[in-house]
Amino acid sequence: MVIKLALLPGDGIGPEVVAQARLVLEAACEAFGHELQTREMNIGGAALLASEDPLPRETVAGCLASGAVLLGAVGAPRFDAYPPAKRPESGLLRLRRELGVFANLRPAVCLPSLEALSPLRPEIVRHSDIMIVRELLGGLYFGERSTEGETGSRRARDSMAYAEPEIERIARVAFQLARARRKKVTSVDKANVLDCSRLWREVVGRVGGDFLDVELSHMYVDSAAMALVARPSEFDVILTENMFGDILSDQAGAVVGSLGLLPSASIGGKVGLYEPIHGSAPDIAGQDLANPLGAILSSAMLLRHSFQLEPEALAIESAVREVLGAGKRTRDLAASGQAFIGTREMGKLIVGRIRTSRPAAHTSGC
């Protein structure tokens, strides 16, 4: 199979982690007999500096001509003074809209070798395996907004809006994922206050009627935030809207130990978009200190969801688990006084695991 990817390294540590993910993908493709074709393009601050546009037209065209997109990170303090439409983050929001990706999948798994990283007691976080399904193209982030008045008396407004079809399509993604997992969906809203959430709850309940083998429960977002800390292992699939999902997925990352470990997949549109959920971390950029595992695990999700290459995805995930199980840590994962390795060394070790564990089954998709 020819696997054609658009690589958007972006800002800060983005180029470093994308470089390691690309090397891991090359190793997996070699092991399974695929041909990997990649093309790098600008987004975010890097694009602003090169073209005064956080999402150049040629980047959009290149992404739409690819089988999937792998993104590093966008943003840096130097761009905070730019007007909203010119900030790096606006380029990312526009890219999501251009690709039509409405479903963001964010797994948060507590690995046995990393239980000590969680701020929670091991017996609370142990066995946590959560999939957060976040609606990505609606809500406050895409609603009408305005700022009016003179300095000192200005009034700003952001509007949250959802239509029934938008809710239904993301709900179906969540139920289908749950059906292949532990068959539990927790829908998170604020239906005691918001009209949007009341509609959300009604539509999700209706869709649940088509998935009677999946247990559906509803929670207010504040209750869900508390439950994620008190009993994270009880969650299976969390379904929620855009802003709530943004917040809860970061919280889940902290619960299982580190945002640096967590991948994400944005699917449902013309081309899938894959990215680690950590930020650009400009304070450590270029120092070989970044954790590339979120990007590497995002590449596994890319193979699974955009190319239906499950054995290849599992090979990458198994390699990550083996390297961590052997005690190898980047700085963010190391305990106080524990030796750690750099970005490039972590990538090299995972590539080595893939290349030295080539079972006969590594022939799928040829």
Number of domains composing the chain: 2
Nearest residue to 10 (alpha-carbon basis) of 87, 82, 71:
71
Same-domain check for residues 252 and 267: no
Residue 309's pLDDT band, with cuts at 50, 70 and 90, is very high
| Domain stop point among 187, 222, 256 | 256
pLDDT higher than 50, residue 341 = yes
Same-domain check for residues 125 and 249: yes
CA distances from 104 to 88, 100, 135, 264, 360 (A): 19, 11, 6, 7, 34
Same-domain check for residues 335 and 233: no
pLDDT higher than 80, residue 144 = yes
pLDDT at 359: 52
pLDDT at 365: 35
Tell me if 114 is assigned to some domain. no
Same-domain check for residues 251 and 263: no
Rounded Cα distance between 31 and 175, Å, is 33
Same-domain check for residues 249 and 275: no
Known catalytic residues are 141, 190, 222, 246, 250
Residue 84's pLDDT band, with cuts at 50, 70 and 90, is confident
Same-domain check for residues 45 and 131: no
Q: Does the pTM of the predicted model rise above 0.75?
A: yes
Name the residue with tokens 């020819």: 2
Name the residue with tokens 């539509």: 203
Same-domain check for residues 246 and 352: no
Nearest residue to 66 (alpha-carbon basis) of 302, 278, 316:
302
Look up the CATH number of the domain holding residue 92.
3.40.718.10
Q: What is the mean pLDDT of residues 188-199?
A: 97
Same-domain check for residues 127 and 252: yes
pLDDT higher than 90, residue 345 = yes
**Taking the CB of residue 76, how many other CB atoms lie within 10 A of it?**
21
CA distances from 280 to 10, 20, 272, 336, 353 (A): 8, 15, 21, 24, 27
| Domain stop point among 256, 287, 315 | 256
**Beta-bridge partners for 148:** 155
Q: Who contacts 359 (Cβ-Cβ below 8 Å, separation ≥6)?
A: none
Of residues 360 and 147, the one with the higher pLDDT is 147
Tokens found for residue 149: 């008045």
Cα angle at 237 between 236 and 238, to 5 degrees? 120
**Beta-bridge partners for 220:** 189
pLDDT at 113: 82
